[in-house]
Each structure stands twice: as structure tokens, then as C-alpha cells.
Structure 1
Amino acid sequence: MAPPSTVRVPYKSSFISCPALAAQGRAFSSSRCFKNESKAASAGGTIPLGLFLWKRIQQLGVRTVMGLPGDTNLELLHYIGSTDMHWVGNSNELNAAYAADGYSRIKGCPGVILTTMGVGELSAINGIAGSFAENVKIIHVVAATGKAAQEKRVMIHHTLGDSPDHRIYAKMSSSVRVSHCYLDDEATAVAGIDRVIQECYVQSRPVYIYIPVDMVHKQVPESALSIPLSLARSSEKEAEDRATHAVLKAIYESKNPVVLVDSLILQFGLRPLVRSLLDQLQFPTFCPFMGKSVIEETKPYFHGTYNGKFSYPGIQEAVEEDSDLVIHFGPLPTDMNTGGFSAKIDPRKLLLVEETRVILRGEAFEGVYLASFLTRLSESLNISKVPEVKYLTLPGPPPPDKSEGKETQITHSHLWPRMGKFFRAHDIVFADGGTTHFGIIDADFPDITYVMQNHWASIGYALPGTFGGAMAKRDLMKSKTHGWNGVKGDGNGRVIFITGEGAMQLTVQEVGSMIREGLDVIIIIINNGGYSIERCVVHPEASYHDIATWNHKHMLDFFGAKDGAARTHQVRTKEELEKVLTRPDFENPKGVHVLEVFTDKMDFPWRLKAFGEAYREMKGK
């Protein structure tokens, strides 16, 4: 494997010497090639635009770039070798986009993906859309044909129809980014790059940088790298003043306040700040479905997951009926996050601290931004005026079925509480969509980082996402720094990926990347004989819920591990599960380890069963 600072990619495409392409505007190469990239900055204080782009990205804390090499991006890609960043060639562009998302969620800087125009960027678009939906910072760099080929609308591969528009794909992705720039002119390129990076941070969503191949070596001022970027978003002062005054008054006058802490707190990196604020308030606190792991669950004021009618007994009543003020930090009111929209809080007692505004009892304070306002609120809070509120006494989870104690086969009601005990502080846990999302809510978490993509809910996301998260953890360990939301760059936290065997089949190729990069990852596969989340919803015996049967015992060997079969364990009973979870190599994994857990295909987590029943009622079935 090449060292992190080296990129072993040919800098020149085989198309460069083709006379036909040369006549068509040198579509795949620049007007000149590298002479000595290690001395890319010239004596006149300029630097190639391609190198400037990577150095600017490196300044953000990025140390790993995802993507695939292709004819239009090779020369741009080669400049990564002149930085301290590491190039990762993923299995496909969709996986690369998922991996960049996972990297950003753990490290806090943007995830970065490099693709070719057309087929490459369109393959990535589903992953980029998920990052857009869930407020994840991504920089998508697209290398394209040369400007002359674009102007002549040359019919080159990766283009559409006669007289093709080479930029039509950029239009296709316009709805899943917050800013873009076309690097067509070296006089404006630096400003364009800085502008989109700022928007990436301010709005915490993907941006798009398009660079024709003949712009890669154009010279731009190297001194521009010393100009600092403004990456924070400041609220409108008057609106924030009024919002702060009104919110503090509501808090001081409340008698039975409760707090909901939601997923946008994670996406904007505010977990440490919110935890500090909660320690000051000491109000009864809950997390919606997607807010799990924001709060330390061992805190006495934490009372569980609020998910509308899919909550544990007593929780919905405590939030919706018994409180006089509901403070909701970072809300994301999706169907999954609200128990199928069964969460119903009276707006007359609701305080919403959203991404771009604060709403108190129906009054909106526009232009008041999440991070800015929470910082101001924490600094302005007068503890002597905060009401003392007793912690709640709630019934807790329903007791397990009487037959559970006699059952030797692994059931979901046994599995998920046991997984909570398997996790330890500082673990990073990625879970894929479907059964896992509904089951893992029943696990009591130690102080871990938990990542799920429950809003966009693209099944298969979490395997490449885990790869990106593991790369981020490795980068943090090398730099001896902490990442996003207090993620530890040191310590004994593991990287754990939990999925169903169906989701595994969508993006399994990135297991090979984990092995190639020498990452330490525990993979837990819940094998329940098909797509259980759909099976639970409707027509459970239908054949379209079934999938091909893979023998995961040989998966690691297939992807290049030397002793993969020995590091793969398959369990069907509770006793077998216990033996594997307590193995030393699962306590301190080196390399990739696999645990395949077999469950009955008609056994579902209780929340998933309740969701299925609600769906059928809604459809009148």
C-alpha cells in the first residue's frame, strides 16, 4: 500500500496522445503536463489551481479523500500527492459518497469526494442527496472535459445525444447542494472555492466544485492560502436578543418543563455544548428516534426515547400532557422521528430551536441560527432563576415475554439489550436502515457515538459510512486530536457496524476497502432471511421479501483477508452469542471481524411490529 502522502496514479491519461481528441479541444488533458509537482509553486508566488484546491481543503482538517480515478480527473488527483492527504480509491462512486458522509460525521470537517463528470457524479448523487437531507458537510469535486471540448459540444463518452451539453449533469444535482462553482477562470477560481466552502460550513450541507481538466494547472496566487475563511454563521443580533429574552423568560416561569434533544445537534457538532446546557438546566430530557447518543444516557435527568405512540409507557404522556414547556433542540420532524407523525405537542407550550430560527409558542424569530443561539442561551442562563424540577418516575419498558427466558434461539427482544451491554464508552457505532434502527433503540447506550441515516434511509449506507468513519478515527488517532461532537482520537473505543444481510448486499464491496486500509472494524450481520422491515409491513410471505443466500463465512477471505474464516463467527443461540461477544478479539479487535447472528424471519423488534400495524391501519388493511 502506498504511504498516505503518495498517490500512485498515472498523471497522464492515455487519451492525451490521441490526435483526434487533440483536435477536439484536448478533452481529457490539460494544455500541459506536470513537470515537477513537488515544486508546483512557482518562484513568482503562484500555485497550480488543482494544488490550491487540495491545499485549501487540507486546511479544513481533511486528511482522506474518497472517490474513483477516471480520465478527466487523473491530473487533478495527482496533486493530492503534494499534500498531507491520503487518497482512497473506493469500489464505486455511491460507496465513495457514503464514505465521505461517514467521514464528516466523525471528524467534523467536510467529507470530500472526487469523481469524473457524468457517470461518476451521477453514480454518487444518491449518497450526496442523503448528506443534503441530513445536514452533512460534503465537498463534491467533479473533474470534467476541457473548456474547448465543452464549447464545441464534442460527442465524447459520458455525454448525452447529439451536440451534448457537458454540464447538464451539474444541473441534475442542483437540488442536493447549497452552493457550487465552475472553475473556468483562474482570476475568479480562488474566490469561488472559498465561497462554496463557506456555504458548506454555514449550512452544513453538500457543495459542488466543477473543474475542467485544462484548468487544473492554471496558476493562482499562493498567498490566497493565508487568507482565513469565515466558517461560522452569526445570527441577526436584534432577533437573537429578542429570542434569548423570550426564551429565558419562558424557562424561568415554567413549572414542569421537559427537553427533547434531536439529530441536528449532532449534525452541527453541538453535542458538547448541549450536554453542558442540560447539566445546567437538569430538566427531564428525552431524545427522539434520531437523537439517540446526543445525551449521556446515564444522566439522572435522561428518561428515554420519545417517539410518539411508539415510546415506552409513560413517555408520550410526560412530554405531551404533563409538561407546561417542551424545549426541542435541533428538531427534525420526519415520519420515523415522530413515530409516524403520532408525536403531537401543543404548539402553545412548544419551544423549537431550529436550524435558522427559534419558534416560541407560535412566535417565530427568523435569522436566529442554531449554534449561535445555543451558545448565547448557555452564556445568558441565570441558574438561580431556573426552576428545580423533579426527575420523572416512569413505568419503564414492558417486561419480556414469559417464554423469553426459556428460549435458546436469539430473539430481537434479547439481542438489542445485550448489544447495549456489549458497547462501551467511546465506541463509534454505525447502524444500517431497517430492522436494526427499530431494534437498537432498546439498547441502553454508554457514552458512544451512534450514526444512523434514518431520514434519507438509503439501505446500504452504513457499510461505506462505517469505512469513512473508521478512516476518520484513524486520522484523529494519527493527529492525536478529538473529532466532531467530542469523538475521541485516543482511548479504547471501537468501530462497530451493525446491519441486516439484505442491506449488506447493496454495498458489500467496501469490506475490501476496510481490509486494504488495515482498519479495525467489527461487523455484526443480523441474518433474518430477507427484507424484514418490508416483510413486517405487508404480505409477510411474499417472495419479493426474499433475497439470495450468501455464505458470509468466506466473505473476508474473498475480499483479501489472510485469515478471514477464522475471524468470522456464526451464532444461532444465546449461548453462542455470549461466547463471541466476550472474546478478546471482540474486546480489542485487530483487523476486520464478523459476527453473523441468525434470527427467525418472522421475529421483529416490537417497535417495527407497531410500525407495521400502524402502516396497515393507515392503508385500511
Structure 2
Amino acid sequence: MGLPGDTNLELLHYIGSTDMLWAGNSNELNAAYAADGYSRIKGSPGVILTTMGVGELSAINGIAGSFAENLKIIHVVTATGRAAQEKRIMIHHTLGDFHDHRIYAKMSSPVRVSHCYLDDETTAVAGIDRVIRECYIYSRPVYIYVPVDMVHKPVPASALERPLFLNRSSNSNAEEAALHTVLSALYSARNPVMLVDALILQFGLKPLARNLLELLKFPTFCPFMGKSVIEETKPYFYGTYNGRFSYPGIQNSVEEDSDLVVHFWPLPTDMNTGGFSAKINPKKLILIQENKVNFKGQAFEGVYLESFLTRLLNSLDISKVPKIAPLSLPAPSPPELPEIQETQITQAYLWPRMGKFFRSDDIVFADGGTTHFGLQDANSPDITYNMQNYWASIGYALLATFGGAMEKRDLIKSKTEGWNGVKGEGNGRVIFITGEGAMQLTVQEVGSMIREGLDILIIIINHGGYSIERCIVHPEAAYHDIATWNCKYMLDFFGASDGTARTHQARTKEELEAILTRPEFEDPKGVHVLEIFTDKMDFPWRLKAFGQAYREMKGT
């Protein structure tokens, strides 16, 4: 991913002469978003190439999002030659009074885990290997700085024969003690609950986690960001645990009625905890994290999650696992359903309908805003669901969809299964759901989707402006409004040819039902757009609850 620039043209020429694929983007921020989406589906790093200064700084927001949410990204920055850097030549893309050609690398330091400067051909290979390894083991962005005069320097090919060791070994004594403690707690529990969170996905541990949950069959919930870690049609899955933003009965089942809560890789953000309203007694809480296990105030340090999950699965004695009765919860129904015309598309109707529209093996990307909150009510079959809920940069998901669809196409060509069980074969679709406000930030990359011949369904929820902000304060204020676009001309504008792309609009339930059953939505070829119109004052019930919590949190 990336853009051509004056300092990276020579490096780009090498990419073009290999079997690597260059997927150019409209700007560097979009490229960073796309690399993030590619990494979510591929599992290996998404790579972004930018020029120094103007390019890398444009990308930094996207890189920061990948850092916050533990995505593997390799950011390659090409720069002026070493002699020009040493002389601090006042060349374009440098700052007026400083002429430090590396000052931008310092700016991105907080949003990467490792970096290397390729100043010396004798150390370049070792530097590249080091940062790639750290990109994998920490699942976070790294930075490689390439002076333009280093591009053609030969390095020993023998270095490619040395394998990179990408796993970390647990402290064996601590892991053994943690294993004994957790197994004992599981065997003796009478009302256990399992919570599986988002970072299970980022580290590729969904198959391991699912295998464990299938053996235990304990009541299981996902926090807000953990959607699709577990298949939601399983009888032991009971929905989203999000503190006071949960369906009736869920918060009590987790916090009050349970005698043991096992939480895999908690991410205690405001969004993921119902505005910090999730409160679990630490005396009954097992936290299984990236590099340690905590229980009853005892921390088992140096215990890495993949190793620990593998040993837990292999050590589990099914005969000792208690049989837990199904939970008795009220039927899920959002509180305070609005009084609206029967034919109008409402938030309460829309999101459960989306859940029925999804099918197994679909890859779904959701942008920030209404979609994040609404899709929690879309109980789905075995989909791969992707959202950037922690960093929450709106406009992100359109590009993440582009990157994810690029990898999906590769999986189809190779007929292989990818990261976290994503399938190349089968009838899974790539679906992008967004509000019209988020879409307007990065919409130009629809042209890249068309250029690459990708098969994508774009669903735009048009609710007349910025819903999250409108829900928080002063809902009628003009600053929540945005320009009204005529999206039915969007695909033509971005270069779609007749027959490869279509746009549909739905203003009533009847229109929406008819569109969702059309052949191009069952088996999309090319880019297809569905624009759904809802009332601007109709919010998903979780979004209304979040708005209230946000108002209460101001000043904390």
C-alpha cells in the first residue's frame, strides 16, 4: 500500500519487478488504513511505503490506530540520501529552521514498537530481521527508514536462509503454576462465565479459543470489541457483555450470579466496558493476558497467551469439567423502542435484519459511529467481523475493507484458508457498512476498489449527519449536519463500467427486503452500493446509552 514519491521511485521499481503486488492509494492516510485491514485478514504485516515528511506524517493517524489495536504494520519510509542528510540540505519536505531530515521519524516514535535506519549495508539485513520479528511478536507497527542512496546497495542473500523465530517462550515454572491454578478453578466452578475479547483476533488465536470454549461449553459472552471471536449461533453464547449497555440479565449473570469469570485478553476501554460500568469482583476473576495470568491478586508473569492456551487445551480433563445448566435470560429486546411508522426503516429493525443478511464466512468491516453500536444487535453466523472501536477514527473502515478484500482475493486464487479461519473458498462475501458521514472522509478509495476489480458490498446508513455527536449533545446543532451527496452516481463517477457495479436505495422496509434478496447481493461481482435512509433522530439504543454515559463522564 502507499503512494509513489520522489524518494521511493527506485524502490518501487524493485517491487514492480517481483511477484509482490503494489496496491496504490489516493493518499497516505488511506494507505495506512488499508494496510491495517489487510493485516486483520492476512495475519502477517500490512506494508505501507511513503516518502519522508509529507507522506509519513499523513499516514501517522492510521499507524497510531494500528498501534492502539495491536495490528502488524511495516512502515517503510524512503528519504534523502545520506550525504544530503549529513549536510542538512534545505530540500523540499524539510522544516524551515531545522533541516533535520530525520525529525519526522522522531514524531512517529510513540506509535511503533521498533525501528531501524538502513544507513549501512553491513547491518541492514540484521536490522530488517529484528524489526520484522518484533512486529510479529508484539503485533504492532514497526518503522524502516531507507535513504535513497541505499536502495541499490547489495546485501548477502544468505541472510534469507536464516529463519526468524516469531514465538516467545513462557516461563515454564510460572506457566505450570498458572495452568494448575486455572484448571483447579475451572473444575470446581459452579456458575462459571467466559469472556473472550478482541485481541484474541489480533494475535490469531480465535481457533484455539473456540476449541477451548467448545470443550467447556460454559456460558460465554463477548465484550463490545470481541464480536465474532465466537460463533454467535452456539447455544452457550449469550450475547454482548458491555456493562450497563448489555441486554437485560446479562450484566447480573456476569457480575452477580457467577462464581468464576475467565476473561481472555481484556481491553478495558470506555467503549468495551459500557462507559466503565463493567464491574467484576477481582476475587472471582481470572485475567488471561498477553504475557501473564492473574487470579485472586496473584500474577503469573512471563506466561504468553498462545503457549498457555495450547497447554490448557491439551491438559483439560473433560471428565472433571462441570456441566453447567443454560442461563435463563429475558428475551433480548432493546429498551425504549421508539414509536415510528410501520414501513419506516428504524434502527431497532435494521440491525437484527443485517444479522439475518450475513452468512457464514462473510467478512464484515464496520466504520465508527452508528454501525458500531447497531451491529451488536446483529446476531450472526460464523462471520469475521472487523471494527476499529478503540482508536475509532471514522473513515477507517472503507480502506480497511479495501485491504481486506485484496487479501480475500488472494485466498480465493490460492484456495487456502487464512488468518483466524478466514476462508478463500465458499460463499463468503466482503461487506462494508458505514454511515454517510464516515464515508465522506475516505470515499475516493472506492475508485481503487473498482480499479482492482474487487467484489464488495457497500452499505451506507444515511441518517442525516454525525449521529454519535448528535446523540451526545445539542442534537439539532448545525455542526452535526454534513453535505448531502447523491450516492447513486458515485460508482459512475469513480469509473465503474456498466454491468460491474450498481447502486440501490431503500427508504422503506419493503424496499430493503426486496434489495437484499437480489442476485448481486447474494453473489456480488464488482462493487455494489446500498444506501439505507433512516431518521436522523433515531439512534441504536446502545448509542443513546453511550451518549448519556459520555455526558456523565465529562470532566473525569
TM-score tier, shorter chain, comes to over 0.9
- C-alpha change, 1:221 and 1:393, in structure 2 (3 Å) is same
Q: Distance in 2 between matches of 1:559 and 1:136?
A: 30
- Residue by residue over 1:440-469, the C-alpha shift from the partner in whole angstroms, topping out at 9 and shown as x without a partner, is 100111100000000000010000000000
Distance (Å, rounded) in 1 between the aligned partners of 2:292 and 2:553: 33
Q: For the Cα contact (< 8 Å) 1:410–1:574, is it kept in 2?
A: yes
Task: Answer yes or no: is the 8 Å Cα contact 1:408–1:573 preserved in 2.
Answer: yes
Cα distance in 2 for residues equivalent to 1:564 and 1:333: 47
Q: Output the CA distance in 1 between the equivalents of 2:251 and 2:484.
A: 40
Q: Select 1:444's aligned residue among 359, 376, 379.
A: 379
Aligned counterpart, 1:540: 475
From the superposition, tell whether residues 169 and 403 of structure 1 become closer, same or farther in structure 2 (CA, over 3 Å): closer
Identity of aligned residues (%): 81
The answer for the alignment partner of 2:354 in structure 1 is 419
Deviation at 1:83, TM superposition (A): 2.2
2:394 matches 1:394 = no
Aligned with 1:269 (options 183, 200, 204)? 204
> Please, which moves more after superposition, 316-325 or 368-377?
368-377
Give the corresponding residue for 2:524. 589
The answer for the alignment partner of 1:468 in structure 2 is 403
CA drift at 1:614: 2.2
Determine if the alignment matches structure 1 residue 189 to structure 2 residue 88. Answer: no
Q: Which amino acid is 1:346 matched to?
A: N
Query: Which of 258, 279, 282 is the equivalent residue of 1:344?
Result: 279
Check the 8 A contact 1:556/1:565 in 2, yes or no.
no
2:545 match: 610
Task: Measure the CA separation in 2 of the matches of 1:290 and 1:578.
Answer: 29
- Measure how far apart 1:233 and its partner are: 1.8
Matched, 1:199 2:154: no
**TM-score between the two structures when normalised by the length of structure 1:** 0.88
Query: 1:370-409 counterparts in 2 under 5 A?
Result: 370-398=305-333, 407-409=342-344
Give the alignment partner of residue 519 of structure 1, picking from 454, 471, 482: 454
Distance 1:70 1:242, change over 3 A: same
Q: 8 Å contact 1:557–1:564 — kept in the other structure?
A: no
Q: Which residue of 2 aligns with 1:140?
A: 75
Report how far residue 509 of structure 1 moved: 1.0
Cα distance change, pair 399–214 in 1 and its aligned pair in 2 (3 A):
closer
Which one of 504, 515, 523 corresponds to residue 580 of structure 1?
Answer: 515
Structure 1 Cα separation of the partners of residues 337 and 93 of structure 2:
61
Preserved contact between residue 337 and residue 348 of structure 2 (Cα < 8 Å): no
Whole-angstrom CA distance in 2 between matches of 1:403 and 1:541: 18
Mapped to 2, the partners of 1:615 and 1:522 lie a distance apart of 33
| 1: CA distance, partners of 2:31 / 2:138 | 22
Q: Report the alpha carbon displacement of residue 369 of structure 1 after superposing the two structures with TM.
A: 1.3
Equivalent residues in 2 for 1:137-216, closer than 5 Å: 137-216=72-151
1:312 aligned residue? 247
Q: Using the alignment, how far apart are the partners of 1:308 and 1:235 within structure 2?
A: 33
| 1:322 paired to 2:270 | no
- Output the CA distance in 2 between the equivalents of 1:402 and 1:379: 47
Shift of 1:618: 3.7
Amino acid in the other structure paired with 1:96: A
Q: Which residue pairs with 2:185 in the alignment?
A: 250
Task: Report the secondary structure of 2:257's partner residue.
Answer: coil
User: SS in structure 1 opposite 2:433?
Assistant: strand
- Tell me which residue corresponds to 1:334: 269
Alpha-carbon distance in 1 for matches of 2:305, 2:39: 19
Q: Equivalent residue for 2:2?
A: 67
Query: Deviation string for 1:573-599 (max 9, x for gaps)?
Result: 000001110101110010000000000
Give the unaligned 5+ runs of structure 2.
Answer: none
Q: Is the 8 A contact 2:116 2:127 kept in 1?
A: yes
Aligned to 1:303, the other structure's residue is in SS state strand
Q: In the alignment, what sits opposite 2:534?
A: 599
- Name the counterpart of 1:557: 492
Distance change (3 Å), C-alpha of 1:216 and 1:258: same
CA RMSD of aligned residues (A): 1.4
From 221, 226, 246, the equivalent of 1:286 is 221
Shift of 1:81: 2.2
Q: Which residue of 2 aligns with 1:21?
A: none
Q: 1:496 aligns to what?
A: 431
Structure number with larger C-alpha Rg: 1
Is the 1:254–1:324 Cα contact (8 Å) retained in structure 2? yes
Structure 2 partner of 1:302: 237
Number of matched residues? 555
2:239 pairs with 1:239: no
* Cα-to-partner distance string for 1:182-228 (whole Å, 9 max, x where unaligned): 11111111100000000000000000011101111111111111111
Q: 1:55 — aligned with what?
A: none
Q: Judge conservation of contact 1:525–1:596 (CA < 8 Å) in 2.
A: yes
1:163 Cα offset (Å): 4.7
Name the CA distance, whole Å, in 1 between partners of 2:132 and 2:332. 45
Contact 1:555 1:564 in 2 (8 A): no
Deviation at 1:388, TM superposition (A): 1.5
**1:363 maps onto 2:303 in alignment:** no
Residue 566 (structure 1) shift: 6.9
Contact conserved, 1:301 with 1:391, CA < 8 A, in 2? yes
Q: Secondary structure at the match of 1:72?
A: coil
Is the deviation greater in 299-308 or in 236-245?
Answer: 236-245
